[in-house]
Amino acid sequence: MKRTCLAIILAAGESTRMKSSMSKVLHPVAGRPMIAHVVESLVNASISSAALVLGRDADAVKSAAARNDIELSACLQKERLGTGHAVLAAKDAIAKGYDDILVVFGDTPLLTAAPLLAARQGLADGNDVVVIGFQTADPTGYGRLIVENGALLAIREQKDATEDEKKITYCNGGLMAINGARALELLGKIGNANAKGEYYLTDIVEIVRAEGGKAIAVEAPETELTGCNNRAELAAIEAIWQKRRRHEMMVSGVSMIAPETVFLSFDTQIAQDVLIEPNVVFGPGVTVESGAIIHAFSHLEGAHVSNGATVGPYARLRPGANLGPDSKVGNFCEVKKAEIGAGAKVNHLTYIGDAFVGEKTNIGAGTITCNYDGVNKHITRIGANAFIGSNSSLVAPVSVGDGALVASGSVITEDVPSDAVAFGRARQEIKPGRAKILRERYQAEKAAKKK
């Protein structure tokens, strides 16, 4: 839209029902703070300016909301005197002059751009106030939208509603768009002549109509307007977000055997023809390319899985893990800050950290890269077509050349040249009959302890 718009994000609540040491808008949904989801919906609605109305944890909230494609200003609401009072905390920002003023809440992470665009279109069509509402089967407790011939006459709180008005299922979602040219004038006329002595933003509907202005309501899905006040509601919002995102992915060509057991992050990217087995968790920063398979009970975070690669079951990819095409990280393996080359295999019970593994190299079961000396991390480099025998320890910094072979059970502390064989273990000795002698001694000692 070519019209200018200022979004006012109300995020100054004390969050007392959240029973938390931090503001509720900082609590994560899909791995990012709730308020960051709200800001993303603003950006998707072509809004480039927003004013944050802040209270507790103001600096942390502003930091969580920040991104490069929207200009954020912050204002502190020192007193809690209602939503109308909260919006006027952004008075200086409103006074800069915008075509549209959009009021949203910082705890509605399921919000999308669609209702915001519909509200802005309502202003573009000549209305002074546009309220975003929703239909619900159980309207108990919500303000009812009184609509007649397409015009919004009033928002009636349940305690003030008549019996007929209580039957209305079209309810106030709390979000509102206001004509920017009249916003300060209308907001300034909201009074506090009520039992709580607070300034209610909802009063603006009757104010604008009394002055000959126009007000309408636009409808949004109830879930998009869901706010969060406690941990139970946070879990319910998480479940809705996950279900919605899983559906989007499956429609786009991702296969999930048991989708309800797969958990995604806000930035998870999965290409078509990827198969995800049950009980897989994606932390932030994961990209999976086409044709990859993520086997059951795997956990990925900050990782890149190339086309045709397989992960798991029971594998963990930590930040910096980069799996090349057709590579494999198998069961009970952990990879951290490591490049796994095309066609390389890390199959069983292995830790690869701070390392480079070349193409088509095989890492045997129980192998570890010893990357930490207690103070600093060090790099292990393994060339292409190498073979690392089972139960080997590669003590970084160390390099194993192309085509080299490390014997099973070795501790490698020096570089291994290409095509060389390295043994780093004690020589085996056999003492005939010694096992019987030891066994008899141990049995005698045990019997003596019982006396």
pLDDT digits (tens, 9 = 90+) for 103-142: 999 999 999 999 999 999 999 999 999 999 999 999 998 9
Residue 50 CA to residue 59 CA, distance in Å, equals 16
| CATH code of the domain covering residue 81 | 3.90.550.10
In contact, 74 and 123? CB cutoff 8 Å: no
pLDDT at 198 over 90: no
**Residue 113, in any domain of the structure:** yes
Same domain for 247 and 339, yes or no, is yes
Helix and strand element counts for the chain (H, E): 10, 35
List beta partners, residue 179. Answer: 100
Q: Count CB atoms within 10 A of the CB of residue 71.
A: 11
In contact, 267 and 284? CB cutoff 8 Å: yes
pLDDT at 160 over 90: no
Same domain for 205 and 342, yes or no, is no
Query: How does pLDDT run across 320-363, given as a tens digit for each residue?
Result: 999 999 999 999 999 999 999 999 999 999 999 999 999 999 99
Q: How confident is the model at residue 77 (pLDDT cuts 50, 70, 90)?
A: confident
Would you list which residues are annotated within the binding site for Mg(2+)? Answer: 107, 229
Give the global pTM. Answer: 0.90
| CATH code of the domain covering residue 355 | 2.160.10.10
DSSP code string of 268-309: -EE-TT-EE-SS-EE-SS-EE-TT-EE-TT-EE-S-EE-TT-
Q: Which of 27, 295, 304, 348 is catalytic?
A: 348
Same domain for 255 and 397, yes or no, is yes
Same domain for 307 and 347, yes or no, is yes
**Residue 320, in any domain of the structure:** yes
| Averaged pLDDT, 225-235 | 95
Number of domains the chain contains: 2
Would you list which residues are annotated within the binding site for acetyl-CoA? Answer: 365, 371-372, 390, 408, 425
Same domain for 358 and 384, yes or no, is yes
At position 118, the amino acid (one-letter code) is A
**Residue 447, in any domain of the structure:** no
- Please give the sequence-ordered ranges of beta strands (E in DSSP) within 325-424, or none if there are none: 328-331, 334-340, 345-348, 351-357, 362-363, 368-370, 380-382, 387-388, 393-395, 398-400, 405-406, 411-412, 421-422
Same domain for 277 and 128, yes or no, is no
Annotation says 348 is catalytic: yes
Same domain for 237 and 348, yes or no, is yes
Same domain for 265 and 190, yes or no, is no
Q: Which residues constitute the domain of residue 366?
A: 231-422
**Of all residues in the chain, what percent carry a pLDDT higher than 90?**
88
Same domain for 191 and 335, yes or no, is no
Same domain for 217 and 322, yes or no, is no
Residue 198 CA to residue 446 CA, distance in Å, equals 81
Vertex 282: Cα angle to 280 and 284 (nearest 5):
170
**Residue 275, in any domain of the structure:** yes
Would you list which residues are annotated within the binding site for UDP-N-acetyl-alpha-D-glucosamine? Answer: 10-13, 24, 77, 82-83, 143, 157, 172, 229, 318, 336, 351, 362
Structure tokens at 236: 């319910």
